[in-house]
Amino acid sequence: MSQTAPSVTGPVPPPGSRGIDEILAAARARIDRLDPEQAHLANRGGALLVDIRPAAQRAAHGTVPGSLAVERNVLEWRFDPRCAARLPQAVGYDLPVVVICQEGYTSSLAAAALQDLGLHRATDVIGGFAAWRIAGLPVLGPTPP
């Protein structure tokens, strides 16, 4: 009996579409990602550390002291300097923003989206909050239920 590699079955993608692995690679190719220690130093130097994880995830795993919680579903509206729903911190396009998620995947897509808005200094944390905690950097929590 011969063995063959398993094939991926499913719908044929439409022309021009990209898979999530391609989208993630393209996002990461244009951002200067920071390891947790670099992100911590950037934050201490004035960069805004933005935690995009849902509230339940922050409660379950903890948070970075001083980080700003802005859930992913509203990030662009809160940081677009042209938007009436922006945060007071969204004062211009030169704002250094470091995005953190749980493991460093969603944050890459979010940082690229902020760059699309013109925030050219937006970046993210390699490995996310999990790597931040493993590096022994300051954390609060988790919060008991």
Mean pLDDT for 124-134 is 98
Q: Does 113 map to a domain?
A: yes
Q: Does 73 map to a domain?
A: yes
Q: Does 80 map to a domain?
A: yes
Decide if 37 contacts 45 (C-beta within 8 A). no
User: What is d(CA 108, CA 72) in angstroms, rounded to the nearest whole number?
Assistant: 12
Neighbours of 131 (CB within 10 A): 19
How confident is the model at residue 9, as a pLDDT?
Answer: 76
Q: Does 50 map to a domain?
A: yes
Q: Does 88 map to a domain?
A: yes
Which structural domain range is residue 50 located in? 32-135
How does pLDDT run across 51-63, given as a tens digit for each residue?
Answer: 999 999 999 999 9
Structurally, the chain folds into a number of domains equal to 1
Neighbours of 58 (CB within 10 A): 22
- Write the CATH number for 91: 3.40.250.10
Q: Does 13 map to a domain?
A: no
Tokens 């609060």 identify what position?
140
User: What is d(CA 118, CA 107) in angstroms, rounded to the nearest whole number?
Assistant: 17
Q: Does 26 map to a domain?
A: no
Q: Does 100 map to a domain?
A: yes
Whether the pLDDT of residue 2 is over 70: the answer is no
